[in-house]
Amino acid sequence: MALMYFILFALFSFSVAQRGCEPGRTQCPTSPPYDPVNITADSTYRYITTAGCPPYPNPHWTNPATACTSIEQKFTFPLVAKIAPTPIPVGEPYGRYDGILYLKEDPLPIMGPLGVLTSGVKVFGVGSSCGYSSKCPSEGAPTKYVDAVESEGHTVDQCGGHAAPTNDYHVHSSIGINTTEGQAKCVVPTDTPGQHSPLIGWIFDGYGLYGQYSEGGVRPTDLDSCGGHTHEINGTNVYHYHIPNSYPWSIGCFKGCPLVDNNRREFPALLAKYGCQ
Ligand SMILES: [Zn+2]
Ligand SMILES: [Zn+2]
């Protein structure tokens, strides 16, 4: 009998290993305890260490292809942002084709991470490559990039998140977390009616990302093209972003220079092009 249990256990272990997690990655927890998120700071930088797994139950982890996200990642944010010589675009709309919003190929849309929520979940840019999107035709498309939320939106969970082909769990937008119920479920600081939304994360240039409401609990009407504005919060005048409920879904551009180590695939060329070095 003991031998039979051993064989069953061995078969089970083998099937988990067969899911093919890359070295160093393990499957995200499907129930508590979830991986811890550590937010620390020294005199110059804020650091977020996260396994990249969401701190809530997630349907994606039942899919072996997207189960292996858990790997420690450390992101760094300047406490004092360096203002970019010109705001750095994260993508620009080209126009609609077949009901989907296409993005220009220049400026190249950001498709990887541009910030992190306080929950440890990464925020990805507005772009999706046609190669990854089932809604983007292989022929006849006007550009190679589409709005990630419109083209990938059917794949997201209750918190607006999903796993990229590299298994990196992320959100693109406030979808799923733009109601107090969603915020509570998705471990995002909750809005209080009549008040400025709380801080929900940071963008890699160091500026804070807040929920959708400004002072008085109403949507801001004075945001710049990056999706931010400056006013007093807790006694200090600070520039900060508000997450919108429509395109560009997170920020419209980086007001400051994002730290290159946070997205080595996309930032080096971008920072050089926009004079942020
Ligand atoms: Zn995505
Ligand atoms: Zn504000």
- pLDDT tens-place string over residues 29-64: 778 888 899 999 999 999 999 988 889 877 665 554
Query: Ligand 1 centroid vs 228 CA: distance in angstroms?
Result: 23
Residue 28 maps to a domain: no
Residue 22 lies in a domain: no
Please, are residues 198 and 211 in contact by the beta-carbon 8 Å criterion?
yes
Asked whether residue 7 is assigned to any structural domain, the reply reads: no
Number of domains into which the chain is organized: 1
Closest ligand (CA of 125): 1
The two tokens of residue 191 are 């809005």
Instruction: Report CA(141)–ligand 2 centroid distance (Å).
Output: 38
- The pLDDT of residue 4: 47
Residues in the 5 Å CB sphere of ion ligand 2: 214
Nearest ligand (C-alpha, residue 148)? 1
- Check: CB of residue 158 under 8 Å from CB of residue 54: no
Residue 187 is part of which domain span? 34-273
- CA of 8 from ligand 1 middle (Å) equals 37
Cβ-count burial 158-186 (b if 16+ within 10 Å, e if not):
ebbbbbbeebbbbbbbbbbbbeeebbeeb
> Alpha-carbon distance 209 to 217, whole Å?
16
In a domain, 141, yes or no: yes
Ligand closest to Cα of 231 equals 2
In a domain, 228, yes or no: yes
pLDDT at 233 over 80: yes
Residue 12 lies in a domain: no
pLDDT band of residue 6 (cuts 50, 70, 90) is very low
Residue 234 confidence (pLDDT) above 80? yes
As a whole number, mean pLDDT of residues 10-16 equals 36
Cis peptide upstream of residue 33 (ω within 30 degrees of 0): yes
Q: How many CB atoms lie within 10 A of CB 250?
A: 24
Band of residue 169 on the pLDDT scale cut at 50, 70, 90: confident
* Distance from Cα 196 to the centre of ligand 2, integer Å: 7
Q: Over 60: is that where the pLDDT of 25 sits?
A: yes
Average pLDDT over residues 263-276: 95
Asked whether residue 45 is assigned to any structural domain, the reply reads yes
Residue 105 lies in a domain: yes
CB 172 within 8 A of CB 193: no
